[in-house]
Structure 1
Amino acid sequence: MDTPSPIGIFDSGYGGLTVMREIVLALPQYDYIYLGDNARTPYGTRSFETVYDYTLECVQYLFSQGCELVVLACNTASAKALRNIQQLDLPRLYPGPTPDSGPTRRVLGVIRPTAEVIGQYSASGHVGVLATKGTVTSESYLVEIGNFFPELTVTQEACPMWVPLIENGEHRFAGADYFVKQHIDRLLSRDPLIDTLLLACTHYPLLTNKIRAVLPTGITLLSQGPIVAASLVQYLARHPEFALSPAPMPINTQGHRRFLTTDSAHDFSRQASLFWGEAVEAQKVEL
């Protein structure tokens, strides 16, 4: 396939742009459509049923825009909706030509790729997970990491103030230091042997410098973006039906990127630059 469909990237708001940025760096030749459901964010405090309904609606919108492969660049959506979408909805709504071929549309998340590799970073066998309340409550990381590294001790810490601080631009100021240190200290007091710390929310990379400033020496800090990007590269190699032709691409080939939001396009464009790293021009859509 020389011109595959665009890759869809979904998040409840802006945070997924930190994942998309890493995916684009790894696979710049692809076209991308980003959809932020800003009109209904945050997802972290909503029920499993509501998150599932919202996520499925947004995934189907991306399918309607020509995407055949969608990445849920949102930990809450990955925790609360991905399994049902993969196991129940895709086989029913988009069946393949044969039972063994799988559905003709695919949806991937951010939790499993991280769980598959996190044990490789820890020497002590103790890892910490910083996440939203919704992700922590779902226990998805405990389950997924346990599937791949049952010997690991995993300690979670919900950080409910971090996303509002970031989205209101307060993460750049000294006032955010208190909330960062509070949660890091609380997590490490519960397990002082932690040597690997995962930022299990796509907003949290914007706090990297403040987190590193209070982390003891020797603790590895992991962001999901590079891990998810590497996993997607491997997935496309295993599933060439969703990939570009393996023929050599011209140097500096770059695909087209569209940025969509369910809320104000002006507000999204203004805020998105914090996460994307450069100016963004978004379009408002009705689901």
Structure 2
Amino acid sequence: MINTQQSIGVFDSGYGGLTVFKSIVNKLPDYNYIYLGDNGRAPYGDRSFDTIYQYTLECVEWLFAQNCPLVILACNTASAKALRSIQQNILPNKYPGYRVLGVIRPTAEIVGDFTKSNVVGVMGTRGTVNSESYLMEIDHFFPNVKVVQQSCPMWVPLIENNEHLEPGADYFVKEYVAELLAKDAHIDCIILACTHYPLLIPKIKEFLPNGIDLLGQDDIVADSLVSYLERHPEIAGQLGKAAIRAFYTSGDPRAFDASASIFFGETVNSNRVDLKL
């Protein structure tokens, strides 16, 4: 066991979850955290359902083994394709008392507060879009809201190569935004359904008409976690508050640290972990 104090685990297939982690730390700075990026097997977006589920479960179980009774899947693909099965099939039988939360439901719960036209756009990876998870979750909370989706396969590579704010990114940002808006002229709110995408917000706004709200998930998920811990003191009471933050990756720590600092906004020093359980 790497950490002996109970921590909040934060997981992503790569770097994007660090935008959520950064916001969580800003709002809940006293808690202990372990961040795990499965960079050695990223990206998850185009992998099969079964593969994503298996990889996500391995990462969740690794975090459980590091004394994390609460794990946040700060990854839309993992939340779409693995969260429900883990919550319903794994936790009750194998890990009673442990909790795993995702990023899709917190976003779906509040999107109705941002749309007046009742037409919402969703921009995400192919895996997230094809899962139709946002259509189902938003319909659950706001059945009168129409959801229009657009996959953006080039955005994550642009961000991970630190080219997202360069002029060369303009073509792909403009193209995907235009394709989404062409599907319905009444879209007045767009969900950025990938935790990488907050880094693209300045560029996306250049190509958005006035009057369209742009929702990143970083603050939404962090606010949802604050509320969750207030409503579940039995979970919050288990967690250490020594402000310990540890970073792990299944890839090359040096490469992870170089890119992670862009997403997290601070210097990151990670350790490599073998996820084969």
TM over 0.5, shorter chain? yes
Aligned length: 271
- What is the letter of the counterpart of residue 272 of structure 1? A
Q: Distance in 2 between matches of 1:241 and 1:123?
A: 38
**Equivalent residue, structure 1, for 2:258:** 270
Runs ≥4 residues deviating over 6 A: none
- For residue 172 of structure 1, report the CA deviation from its aligned partner: 2.3
Tell me, yes or no, if structure 1 residue 279 matches structure 2 residue 267.
yes
- For residue 125 of structure 1, report the CA deviation from its aligned partner: 0.6
**Equivalent residue, structure 2, for 1:10:** 11
Q: Any gaps of 5 or more consecutive residues in structure 1?
A: 95-102, 246-252
Q: Any gaps of 5 or more consecutive residues in structure 2?
A: none
Provide Cα deviations, 1:88-107, integer angstroms capped at 9, x if missing partner.
0001102xxxxxxxx21100
SS of the residue 2:190 aligns to: strand
- What is the letter of the counterpart of residue 61 of structure 1? W
Tell me, yes or no, if structure 1 residue 224 matches structure 2 residue 225.
no
Checking the alignment, whether the CA contact within 8 Å between 2:198 and 2:218 is kept in structure 1 is: no
Q: Percentage identity across aligned positions?
A: 61
- For residue 254 of structure 1, report the CA deviation from its aligned partner: 6.3
**Equivalent residue, structure 1, for 2:31:** 30
**Equivalent residue, structure 1, for 2:77:** 76
Checking the alignment, whether the CA contact within 8 Å between 1:69 and 1:242 is kept in structure 2 is: yes
**Equivalent residue, structure 2, for 1:97:** none
**Equivalent residue, structure 1, for 2:197:** 204
Q: Distance in 1 between matches of 2:91 and 2:264?
A: 30
SS of the residue 1:34 aligns to: strand
Tell me, yes or no, if structure 1 residue 110 matches structure 2 residue 98.
no
Q: Distance in 1 between matches of 2:98 and 2:5?
A: 13
Match of 2:165 among 172, 175, 180: 172
**Equivalent residue, structure 1, for 2:46:** 45
Checking the alignment, whether the CA contact within 8 Å between 1:130 and 1:159 is kept in structure 2 is: yes
Q: Distance in 1 between matches of 2:203 and 2:218?
A: 18
Q: Distance in 1 between matches of 2:135 and 2:31?
A: 33
Checking the alignment, whether the CA contact within 8 Å between 1:197 and 1:221 is kept in structure 2 is: yes
- What is the letter of the counterpart of residue 178 of structure 1? Y
Q: Distance in 2 between matches of 1:123 and 1:4?
A: 46
RMSD: 1.5
Q: Distance in 2 between matches of 1:183 and 1:263?
A: 30
Tell me, yes or no, if structure 1 residue 122 matches structure 2 residue 115.
yes
Checking the alignment, whether the CA contact within 8 Å between 1:28 and 1:254 is kept in structure 2 is: no
Q: Distance in 2 between matches of 1:243 and 1:83?
A: 22
Checking the alignment, whether the CA contact within 8 Å between 1:127 and 1:153 is kept in structure 2 is: yes
SS of the residue 1:14 aligns to: coil
Question: TM-score w.r.t. structure 2 length?
Answer: 0.95
Q: Distance in 1 between matches of 2:174 and 2:204?
A: 7
CA 239–4 in structure 1, closer or farther in 2 if over 3 Å, else same: farther
Q: Distance in 1 between matches of 2:175 and 2:15?
A: 24
Q: Distance in 2 between matches of 1:193 and 1:254?
A: 48
Q: Distance in 2 between matches of 1:112 and 1:5?
A: 25
